[in-house]
Amino acid sequence: MYAILIGAPGAGKGTQALILQTTHGFFHLASGDLLRAAVRQQTPLGRLAKEYMERGVLVPDDVVIELLFERLSQTEQARGVIFDGFPRTLEQARALEGALGAQGQKIDRVIYLDVPSEILMERLTKRYQCSDPACGAIYNWGGNQPRQEGLCDRCGSGLYQRMDDNAVTVGRRLEAYFQQTLPLIRHFEATGQLCRIDGNQPIDHVTEQIVATLTPPRRTKGR
Ligand code: AMP
């Protein structure tokens, strides 16, 4: 199964995708994580992407598509793949549909985490992340705090604040979302693929609703 988690920065895509990976056997594929890894490793692609990410604007489609498809080709499908933060533009969506279609596959679900914009800024500027990329757990001073200040509950590594989680860059990221990703959400709505979930609820409620969307209803035996 191929499912897309779509929504604004701060809507909870990463948090939910991590839970779905850990407890429900999905493979979590986050374009932002792939880009940050490329930046850390200082690959040519990472050097190119860094400048865009620091400004809070989208990295060019061809760069993200190349990086994501390379990783997708190495993905061992467990129960399925959850795309987090990709696609973010119509062009990325078309590229993904084309690549999956070439393998006789398709996008099975598009789950939209809907969160009011006034809450997003608050969430992002209070967000902290585990410094171990293999863990990547996300915390929030606004409610989802770690048990021990500054340390990850899952792996004990230190927490850090992402360089693009400051008010100015968050403002630009939200602008990019409204201009470039909202049209894509409307596109999926028009094609009838979109499933909207209220992302402004406790984390476990949101997870329950996503899992219900991903799990096909059990057939009752007919007579
Ligand atoms: P994220 O971790 O999803 O919030 O992404 C962090 C930054 O990486 C974004 O602000 C963009 O600069 C870049 N980025 C991540 N995913 C994409 C994408 N699908 N298309 C273009 N840029 C992306």
pLDDT per residue, tens digit, the chain (223 aa), is: 999 999 999 999 999 999 999 998 899 999 999 999 999 999 999 999 999 999 999 999 999 999 999 999 887 766 799 999 999 999 999 999 999 999 999 999 999 999 998 899 999 999 999 999 999 999 988 788 999 999 999 999 999 999 999 999 999 999 999 999 999 999 999 999 999 999 999 999 999 999 999 987 666 655 4
Six-digit token string for 146:
């770690």
Whether residue 126 lies in the annotated active site = no
Annotated catalytic residue within 173, 186, 218, 223: 173
3-state helix, strand, coil in the chain (%, to 5): 45, 15, 35
Q: Quote the CA–CA distance of 146 and 152 in Å, as a whole number.
A: 6
Strand partners, 140: 127
The pLDDT score that the predictor gives to residue 223 is 43
Determine whether 88 is an active site residue.
yes
Atom 1 (ligand 1) nearest CA: 32
Residue 34 alpha carbon to ligand 1 centre in Å: 9
Contact by Cβ (8 Å): 137, 150: no
CA-proximal residue: ligand 1, atom 10 (nearest): 56
- DSSP string across 91-131: HHHHHHHHHHHHTT----EEEEEE--HHHHHHHHHTEEEES
**3-class secondary-structure state, position 12:** coil
Residues 55, 71, 94, 162: which is the catalytic one? Answer: 162
**Whole-number pLDDT of residue 141:** 84
Question: Cα dist. 61→70, 76, 149, 200 in Å?
Answer: 14, 24, 38, 29
Contact 109, 3 (CB under 8 A): yes
Strands (E) located in the chain? 2-6, 26-30, 80-84, 109-114, 127-130, 138-140, 159-160, 194-198
In ligand 1, the atom with minimum distance to the C-alpha of 36 is 8
| pLDDT given at position 217 | 66
Confirm or reject: Cβ of 96 under 6 Å from ligand 1: no
Sequence-ordered strand ranges (E) for 2-90: 2-6, 26-30, 80-84
The per-residue pLDDT for 219 is 63
* 223 carries an active-site annotation: no
Question: Among 6, 35, 83, which is best to mutate for testing ligand 1, by the most ligand atoms less than 8 A from CB?
Answer: 35
Considering the entire predicted model, what is its pTM? 0.92
- The whole-number pLDDT of residue 147 equals 95
